[in-house]
């Protein structure tokens, strides 16, 4: 009899694991059943703001592979609109609810892959049933928001609550649709994934497009009129709103795991080993936004929910279940985003992360241009480096610029991944031509400035 592999969650990590396992083992040896509570598999949630703005016109462009493709091309039994409600490790079975058929199903497993992703943070005040309040975690969420935006009377005033990646991208998307937008953030500036000085550059760019930035302000409730959203109530008073979008971040979706007795780490996500096995629970694996990873710089367990990691981790799981050998080496927190006319990139530790990890360090800000200053289209770029004292090892980097910032953060990520010092970085053989970089690339200028700071000769 074939071994049965059950996958809980049909997005990046789960379906990557399923397809990789299938490539190595056919149906006579391994039966694969995947449960997904939504309507889509393998889709890109990070593209939803571009769909809302109209930059990506069709929803199907956000789907990498439909359920039918997994069934036909990979012989995977994909069960859509099936929500797993319990995992029984003693009986080695999962319990799922067929949401369309309104019936319960139980399926036994030999191998289980837990890939439930993350769930959006939803405060108590957002749990009231008020029409016009939306999250943007799934394609179904995006479709519901688009329907509201196109329904008469069409909304004119939007409030985005939360200034992380999703919040700032959704604020821009709604401005592009012609709405008046206010972004409310409890912290001192949006984009808390970078340090405050770099976040202020992002805030300036957003204000330049007409987005109102309300920082240091906490949302406490919602006002409604005839069951529809009318205003967001804050510690500084109400803000009128016809539509509200929540961008308060996510938490690992571990309720099922915790109920089943799977171990959670200090980040609140599931603990896994380097091969993505759940320790102490034979035959159970986990991957994606529900697991914690090792941060290669701080050495600490972290929860970094990104599709890049989810796909890699799922691949590792599938290779191992398929009979191969693979490990996931950890993360350094590299991320990029477009905010209005800015590119924002970060990798490694922020200042507060370095303090928490116990490092002594120096920080430098270097301003340069993305190409030779005399070449048409040269734009200002700000690079921030954090380097360990006294070793000079790069601990983190952030870049904000109007062009080619995303390209350069990757060079810094490679340096960070390989443990380079800022002194070693000053000699990096980076490409030069006036249309693409000045003679001294912004990365090299920042590295030189960090070397001076470590020597006590910098400002």
The answer to whether the CB of 399 falls within 8 A of the CB of 383 is yes
Torsion of CA 258, 264, 266, 269, to 10 degrees: -80
Residue that the structure tokens 């920042």 belong to: 446
Q: What is the DSSP string of 219-253?
A: EEEEEEETTEEEEEEETTEEEE-SEEEE---EEE-
Sort residue 353 into left (φ over 0), alpha (ψ -120 to 50) or beta. alpha
SS (H, E, C) 246-279: ECCCEEECCHHHHHHCCCECCCCCECCCCCCECC
Q: DSSP character for 25?
A: S
Give yes or no for a contact between 32 and 5, defined as CB atoms under 8 angstroms apart: yes
- Per DSSP, the three-state class of 430 is coil
Report which secondary-structure segment, H or E, holds 54. none
Residue with tokens 């990557």: 16
Q: Tokens in use for 13?
A: 């990590």
Which position has the token pair 């009979």? Answer: 323
CB atoms within 10 A of CB 241: 26
Map residue 86 onto helix, strand or coil.
Answer: strand
Whole-angstrom distance, CA of residue 169 vs CA of residue 47: 10
**Side-chain half-sphere CA neighbours of 189 within 13 A:** 17
Q: Kindly name the residue from 46, 105, 406, 420 that is annotated as catalytic.
A: 46
Strand partners, 33: 6, 77
Residue 411 CB-half CA count within 13 A: 21
Q: Distance from CA of residue 453 to its chain's centroid?
A: 33
Long-range contacts of 377-381 (CB under 8 A, 24+ apart): 377/403, 379/403, 381/405, 381/408, 381/442
Active-site residue 290, yes or no?
A: no
Q: Closest Cα to residue 384, out of 439, 340, 346?
A: 346
Q: Supply the residues annotated as catalytic.
A: 46
């Amino acid at each position: 009899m074939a071994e049965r592999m059950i996958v809980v969650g049909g997005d990046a990590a789960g379906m990557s694991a399923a397809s990789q396992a299938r490539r190595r083992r056919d149906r006579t040896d391994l039966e694969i059943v995947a449960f997904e509570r939504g309507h889509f598999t393998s889709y890109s949630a990070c593209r939803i703001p571009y769909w809302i703005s109209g930059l990506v016109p069709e929803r199907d462009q956000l789907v990498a592979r439909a359920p039918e493709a997994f069934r036909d091309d990979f012989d995977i039994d994909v069960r859509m609109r099936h929500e797993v409600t319990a995992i029984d490790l003693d009986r080695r079975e999962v319990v799922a609810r067929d949401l369309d058929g309104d019936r319960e199903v139980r399926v036994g497993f030999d191998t289980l892959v837990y890939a439930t992703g993350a769930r959006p943070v939803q405060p108590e005040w957002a749990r009231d049933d008020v029409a016009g309040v939306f999250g943007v975690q799934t394609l179904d969420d995006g479709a519901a928001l688009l329907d509201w935006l196109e329904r008469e009377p069409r909304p004119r005033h939007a409030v985005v609550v939360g200034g992380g990646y999703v919040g700032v991208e959704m604020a821009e998307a709604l401005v592009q649709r012609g709405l008046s937008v206010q972004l409310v953030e409890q912290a001192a500036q949006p984009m808390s994934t970078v340090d405050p000085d770099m976040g202020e550059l992002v805030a300036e760019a957003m204000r330049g497009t007409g987005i109102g930035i309300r920082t240091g302000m906490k949302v406490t409730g919602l006002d409604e009129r005839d069951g529809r959203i009318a205003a967001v109530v804050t510690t500084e008073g109400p803000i009128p709103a016809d539509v509200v979008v929540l961008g308060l971040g996510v938490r690992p979706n571990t309720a099922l795991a915790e109920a089943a007795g799977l171990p959670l780490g200090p980040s609140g996500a599931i603990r896994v080993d380097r091969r993505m096995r759940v320790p102490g629970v034979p035959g159970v694996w986990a991957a994606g936004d529900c697991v914690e990873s090792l941060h290669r710089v701080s050495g600490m367990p972290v929860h970094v929910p990104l599709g890049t990691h989810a796909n890699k981790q799922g691949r590792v799981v599938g290779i191992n279940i398929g009979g191969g050998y693979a490990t996931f080496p950890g993360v350094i927190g590299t991320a990029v985003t477009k905010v209005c006319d800015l590119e924002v990139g970060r990798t490694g530790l922020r200042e507060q992360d370095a303090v928490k990890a116990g490092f002594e360090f120096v920080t430098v800000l270097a301003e340069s241009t993305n190409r030779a200053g005399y070449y048409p289209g040269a734009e200002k770029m700000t690079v921030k480096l954090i380097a360990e004292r006294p070793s000079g090892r790069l601990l983190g980097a952030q870049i904000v610029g109007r062009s080619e910032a995303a390209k350069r953060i990757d060079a810094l990520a490679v340096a960070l991944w390989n443990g380079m010092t800022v002194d070693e970085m000053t000699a990096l053989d980076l490409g030069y031509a006036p249309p693409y970089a000045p003679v001294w690339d912004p990365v090299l200028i920042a590295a030189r400035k960090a070397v001076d700071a470590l020597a006590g000769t910098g400002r």
